Amino acid sequence: MSKEHGMSRREFLKVSGMAAAGATLMAAGPQRLHASGSKEESGHAPGQMRTTELVHWSPNSASDGEVEDRWIALFNDAHRDKGVQIRKELVPYEQYRTKLLAAVATGKAPDMGFGLPAGKGALFARDGVTVPLNDLARQVDLDLSDFTESSLKNARYPNYGGDELFSIPMDLMSLQPEINMDHVAEAGLDPSNFPQDNASLLEWAKAMTQYDSSGKVIRSGIMQTASAVQPNVTWGIVSHQMGFRRASDDLRTACVNPEAGIRAMEWVLALFDEHKVSSREVTDRYKAFGNGQGSIFWTGPWTINGYLQQGLNFETFLFPQIGEDNRDTYFEMGGIEMYTQTDTGRYEATIAAIKWLSDNSFLWTTEGRGVSPRKSIVSRPDYRTAGPPWKVRGAFVEGMEHAKIGEIPILAADDFTIYTGDNFMVKTLDPVWVGEKSPQVAMEELHERWQKDLDEG
């Protein structure tokens, strides 16, 4: 994942008091390599069952990594006498793509891994880095009808594989507002009546914003920064709610309804300059919200455990309808991919392991990260009571019906990603937030680049 302005998501988790979980080594025996570099079965004594060790790459290193380790340990315990084990190898986000391409090229690819939330999925599918999964899923009777439609849609790349799945969804995430409840009480606001629309959102933000004697914002009613992730993902959500689309449904036309996109830029600018409920001086949004320098902060479920451990008095609510078109919010999915092997005979054991992890992902999707894409898991009566308190976790579960602003499934997906600190969109829009470029010029630049990306497929 690219670095964000201030702390990245991963850095936030680490400095929030989370101990980074190292790579768990659960090998069932010494690993040998083919000349090609692909993994063989582990060594075994005469008469003993041969054990296949599946290598799993993961960038999850903080609280989510610790839960992932427990999840994999449950698999290994359940399969100790069944001839298969999983060994997790930690690969940082910023190194994942480069290392994966090199590993596939040299025949040393991991068997499977957590796909990144944005970027190269279509490229990997086109170039054969990831393995198509439809037939393999059927072979192990993975019940795809139990997955949400949106999760399956986001595991496909229509231009490169049509209806073929290239990952098995494991968790779903969205951005929702976390609210400092001490600030709500100080402002005399009704916590049972969180804003549902633009007018009430701005009313709450103004009530909770604090200023110094010169009128400068010292506590933001709505947490923003002057660049990178926060203003850009805000624009991405608000512009979509106002009717703007980065690309048409058929992936042929860029910047549908550009006027709405321009109005959304003006809405973000007004937070700083007209309503004066946000400060451009905030650089580290995670730390600022945790320290009480912000009252409303839209972010993801990866922040929950850190703020709970910090003792922050916060609750989470559904994203309000700021635009007139819908109340959609940002969508992100975590899924496990399979990577191309010289020995394709390993695929059967790998897809069977992925099925087991999916079928047994209750722990992962209550304590580890996002919401389960499995309808049978979410409908369990204990799904609400497991993990962190519902008042801080519930909105991320209930809000998934509105989480629709995801990736554009083309080769240049990175250019369109709204949750990132460093891509073409960010470089185009950052000058807008500090008054160095007009929204109109920025929209023209977005249209030109995005249309070129769509034309290339």
In the structure, what pLDDT confidence band is assigned to residue 1 with cuts at 50, 70 and 90? very low
* pLDDT average, residue stretch 312-335: 95
Of 36-40, 50-54, 438-442, 446-450, the range with the lowest mean pLDDT is 36-40
For 176, 191, 232, 333, the CA distances from 153, given in Å and listed in that order, are: 22, 36, 24, 11
Q: Are the beta carbons of 123 and 91 closer than 8 angstroms? A: no
pLDDT tens-digit profile of 140-153?
Answer: 999 999 999 989 99
Question: Distance (Å, rounded) from C-alpha 172 to C-alpha 400?
Answer: 8
> Tell me, what's the pLDDT at 64?
85
**How big is the chain, counted in residues?**
457
Question: Distance (Å, rounded) from C-alpha 350 to C-alpha 168?
Answer: 12
> Tell me, what's the pLDDT at 37?
39
In the structure, what pLDDT confidence band is assigned to residue 93 with cuts at 50, 70 and 90? confident
Give CA 111 to chain center in angstroms: 22
What is the share, in percent, of the chain residues with pLDDT greater than 90?
78
For the chain, domains (ranges, CATH) are: 9-172+336-397 (3.40.190.10), 176-331+403-456 (3.40.190.10)
36 pLDDT above the threshold of 50:
no
Question: Distance (Å, rounded) from C-alpha 182 to C-alpha 223?
Answer: 16
Give CA 190 to chain center in angstroms: 31
CB hemisphere CA count around 109 (13 angstroms): 25
> Tell me, what's the pLDDT at 115?
82
pLDDT tens-digit profile of 96-128?
Answer: 989 999 999 998 899 999 986 555 788 899 999
> Tell me, what's the pLDDT at 160?
83
What is the share, in percent, of the chain residues with pLDDT greater than 70?
88
In the structure, what pLDDT confidence band is assigned to residue 312 with cuts at 50, 70 and 90? very high
> Tell me, what's the pLDDT at 121?
85
403-405 and 245-247 strand pairing: unpaired
Question: Distance (Å, rounded) from C-alpha 145 to C-alpha 147?
Answer: 5
319 pLDDT above the threshold of 50:
yes
> Tell me, what's the pLDDT at 12?
57
Pairs from 27-36 (Cβ < 8 Å, separation ≥ 24): 27/53, 27/85, 27/87, 28/53, 28/80, 28/85, 29/53, 33/108, 34/107, 34/342, 34/343, 36/107, 36/342, 36/343
* pLDDT average, residue stretch 367-379: 94
The label of the residue with tokens 């599946």 reads 54
The SS3 call for residue 259 is helix
Mean pLDDT of the residues in the chain? 89
> Tell me, what's the pLDDT at 331?
94
| C-alpha dihedral (354, 355, 358, 361), degrees to nearest 10 | -90
Number of H helices, E strands in the chain: 18, 13
In the structure, what pLDDT confidence band is assigned to residue 325 with cuts at 50, 70 and 90? confident
18 pLDDT above the threshold of 70:
no
List the beta bridge partners of residue 197: 321
Residue from 440, 425, 414, 424 nearest 232 by CA: 425
> Tell me, what's the pLDDT at 50?
85
Question: Distance (Å, rounded) from C-alpha 325 to C-alpha 244?
Answer: 9
400 pLDDT above the threshold of 90:
yes
List the beta bridge partners of residue 254: 247
> Tell me, what's the pLDDT at 114?
92
Of 39-53, 311-325, 413-427, the range with the lowest mean pLDDT is 39-53
> Tell me, what's the pLDDT at 49?
67
The SS3 call for residue 171 is strand
388 pLDDT above the threshold of 90:
yes
The label of the residue with tokens 């692909």 reads 38
In the structure, what pLDDT confidence band is assigned to residue 86 with cuts at 50, 70 and 90? very high
6 pLDDT above the threshold of 60:
no
